[in-house]
Amino acid sequence: MPRTPVYIICSPRPFVGKTLIARLLSEFLLLQRGSVVAFDVNLKEPSLLDYLPRITETAEVDDTFGKMALMDRLIVHDDVAKVIDLGFHAFDEFFRMTDEIGFMKEAARRQVAPIALFVADTDRASARGYEMLQEQIPPRALVTIDNEQVLRGELPQAFARGRVVKIRALPSFLKTYIDRQSFSFTGYLRTEKDPSTELHQWIRKNYTSFRELELELTQTRA
């Protein structure tokens, strides 16, 4: 029986592409499932709410009320995928909270599948953050995002032991193009008739990676 996925896009570092990945994943899930709810936990603008206002809500983890309000939305097995764009400022507090309340065990009991998409970087904060997640998240539910726009080289070995999803770097002119708040990845696929364009192939490759990930991680094993 399929479980309700909760994707947590995270890193203790700013400017690693979390919001871009949250946009891609949210648009894919909306196309694939017909519905998705995204949560924006960010300080800076533009954020996910600016790009996808129709499916995105703001959330906070700075106080008990905000934490419980978010958890109440995430723990429901309603077959509506959830995406959290977790700002770097909230990384430690969010995962401290999930550890304290036993979120992973409660989610499993309720047929909810939390999946942490950790955007890798080469600094010490990233290494420590990843180690912390390894202690509370099962290996099957911890996925490394290799964003070539950030790493620009080989993925550090510490992040390469589990499941890895690679996001290929785009030329700067295409990066500027997709950074427009009015841009839609799915809209581009529907309107661009030439499937051989670099951006068309880039979007399709990322959507395919997300489809494979969802099938693998949200199905209950026999």
Question: Strand pairing of 4-10 and 112-119?
Answer: parallel
pLDDT value at residue 222: 36
- Assess if residue 208 is contained within a domain: yes
CA dihedral (100, 36, 18, 201) positive or negative: positive
pLDDT value at residue 207: 98
Split into its structural domains, the chain has a count of: 1
The secondary structure element, H or E, covering residue 50 is helix 48-51
- Assess if residue 112 is contained within a domain: yes
pLDDT at 102 over 50: yes
pLDDT at 221 over 70: no
Domain around 202: 4-217
Q: Where are the alpha helices (DSSP H) in 62-153?
A: 64-74, 91-100, 103-109, 124-136, 148-151
pLDDT at 154 over 90: no
- Assess if residue 152 is contained within a domain: yes
- Assess if residue 180 is contained within a domain: yes
Maximum separation of any 2 CA atoms in the chain, in Å: 50
- Assess if residue 101 is contained within a domain: yes
pLDDT at 1 over 70: no
Rg, C-alpha atoms of the chain: 17
Pair of tokens at residue 221: 């094993």
pLDDT at 188 over 70: yes
Lowest mean pLDDT among 1-10, 29-38, 203-212: 1-10
CATH number, domain with residue 37: 3.40.50.300
- Assess if residue 222 is contained within a domain: no
Integer angstrom CA distances of residue 177 from 43, 58, 173 = 23, 25, 6
